[in-house]
Amino acid sequence: MEQATDFATLMPERDGEGYLVDPADWNEDVARALARDENIELNDDHWDVLHFMRDFYEENQVAADARFVIKHLAERMGREAQKKLFVLFPYGYVKQACKIAGMRRPRAWSTG
């Protein structure tokens, strides 16, 4: 318990909705803490999505739209990719995947 409390004090700055203010502050420990806040236990499929999103961000300096993540998942899972994304992040791509991947909240997108 004490370690979780210590980590909470090291958590990077977040906005009022819990998204990182600076995506450069993200690392896997931050992702684990953000996932805990969302009641998500990260598995290999979550990490695949999160790393894809981080790579996309590094390359393009913008959060990946859900359609790019679904296309990425489809390479491994076929037509079940869209369904899988919403199984992994049941409260929505923006609400959970973007937050856990350390993105700023995409303002033009819905929260779904």
Mean pLDDT of all residues in 17-46: 96
Total number of domains in the chain: 1
What pTM was estimated for this model as a whole?
Answer: 0.85
Helix (H, G, I), strand (E, B) or coil at 91: coil
Decide if 105 is inside a domain: no
pLDDT averaged over every residue in the chain: 88
Q: What is the pLDDT of residue 109?
A: 52
Tell me: pLDDT of 31 over 60.
yes
Q: What is the pLDDT of residue 85?
A: 95
* Range(s) of the domain holding residue 12: 2-100
Q: Confidence class of residue 81 from pLDDT cuts 50, 70 and 90?
A: very high
Measured between alpha carbons, how far is 100 from 63 in angstroms, rounded to an integer?
12
Decide if 8 is inside a domain: yes
Decide if 89 is inside a domain: yes
Q: What is the pLDDT of residue 110?
A: 47
Decide if 58 is inside a domain: yes
Those residues whose C-beta lies under 8 Å from the C-beta of residue 21, and which sit 6 or more positions away, are: 12, 13, 14, 15, 104
Decide if 107 is inside a domain: no
Mean pLDDT of all residues in 26-34: 97
Q: What is the CATH number of the domain that holds 62?
A: 1.10.10.370
Decide if 24 is inside a domain: yes
